[in-house]
Amino acid sequence: MISWLMPLLALVIGLTLGFFGLRLLGRLQWFVAWARGMAAFGLLAAAVATGLFGYDLLAYEESSYDQVIANISFEQMGSRSFEALLVDGAGKESRYPINGDQWQVDVRMLQWVNGIPAKPLYRLDQLSGRYLSLEEQQAAPNTAYSIASDTGLVDAWESVRRYRLLFPFIHARRTSASFLPMVDGAIYSISLGQHGLIARPLNEAATVALGR
C-alpha cells in the first residue's frame, strides 16, 4: 500500500497545482502580449539595422567598368621611402608615407548578380607597400593603411559577405591591383576591370619604372 500511496499523492498535488496555475493564466493574454512585444522589438531592431546598412552604403561610389576611380603619385622622401598622394574619384586628396619598392591598392566591391542591370559599388579599402626582398619585407615595419571611411556601427560589405542568405542578389568581394613599382614622380591611374583593379602609368616616370 505504501508503495503506490506516495506517487498517488504526488500526482494529486501536481494536478492541483496545475489546475490553479491554468486558472491564473486565464486565456493566455499575457503570452499574446509578450509575443506581440517581442515581435515589435524585433521589427524595430531590423529597421534600425537596415537604416545603418543603408547609411554605410553612402561611403560607396557607383562606377562603370574601366572608369578611373583614383589617381596615385609618388614623391621620394628618402632611400626607398615615399609619400603617396592618392586622389579619389571625388577629388579628395590623401597623403601616406610608404616604405618599400612597390605599392598596391585594395578595393571593396558590391556587385549585383542574377542579371540585375545595375552598376557595381566600390569603396577604396587599403593602400600598402612592400619590398621586393622577402628578408627586408619581414624585417621592415608594415606600411599598410586603411583608406576606407568608417560610417557607423554596421559594415554593409562585411554583412553581405557574412550573411549571404539575406542578400541573394548582392555579391561582396575584395579586389586589388597588381603590385607596381614606386619611383619618384611616378603617376598611375586606377580603374575597375571585369576581373579586378587595373593600374596604368600616366607619365614617363611610371612607364620607365614598369619597363624595368
Q: What is the DSSP string of 15-72?
A: HHHHHHHHHHHTTSHHHHHHHHHHHHHHHHHHHHHHHHHHHHHTT-EE--TT-EEEEE
The number of domains in the chain is 2
Residues 21 and 99 in one domain: no
Which residue among 57, 83, 100 closes a domain? 57
Residues 50 and 66 in one domain: no
What is the predicted pLDDT for the residue at 45? 84
What are the C-alpha distances in Å from 148 to residues 57, 78, 94, 157?
A: 12, 27, 11, 12
Q: Which amino acid is at 91?
A: G
Would you give the DSSP letter of residue 163?
A: -
Which residue among 16, 34, 57 closes a domain? 57
pTM summary value:
0.74
Residues 132 and 153 in one domain: yes
Residues 178 and 76 in one domain: yes
The cell numbers describing 180, all together, are 607596381
The phi, psi pair for 48, rounded to 5°, reads: -65, -45
Residues 94 and 186 in one domain: yes
Instruction: Show the domain range for 50.
Output: 2-57
pLDDT tens, per residue, the chain with 212 residues: 455 556 666 677 777 777 666 666 665 676 677 778 888 888 788 788 888 888 888 888 888 778 898 999 999 998 889 999 999 888 889 999 999 999 999 999 888 887 777 788 889 989 999 988 887 777 777 788 888 766 667 888 888 899 888 888 888 888 888 899 999 999 999 998 877 788 999 999 999 988 87
What is the predicted pLDDT for the residue at 65? 78
Between CA 66 and CA 179 the distance in angstroms is 19
Residues 206 and 110 in one domain: yes
Distance of CA 60 to the CA centre of its chain: 11
Beta bridge partner(s), residue 83: 75, 97
Residues 114 and 193 in one domain: yes
Residues 27 and 53 in one domain: yes
Residues 77 and 43 in one domain: no
Which residue among 15, 42, 57 closes a domain? 57
Between CA 70 and CA 176 the distance in angstroms is 13
Alpha helices in the chain (DSSP H): 2-25, 29-57, 134-139, 156-162, 204-211
Residues 90 and 50 in one domain: no
Residues 7 and 30 in one domain: yes
Residues 99 and 127 in one domain: yes
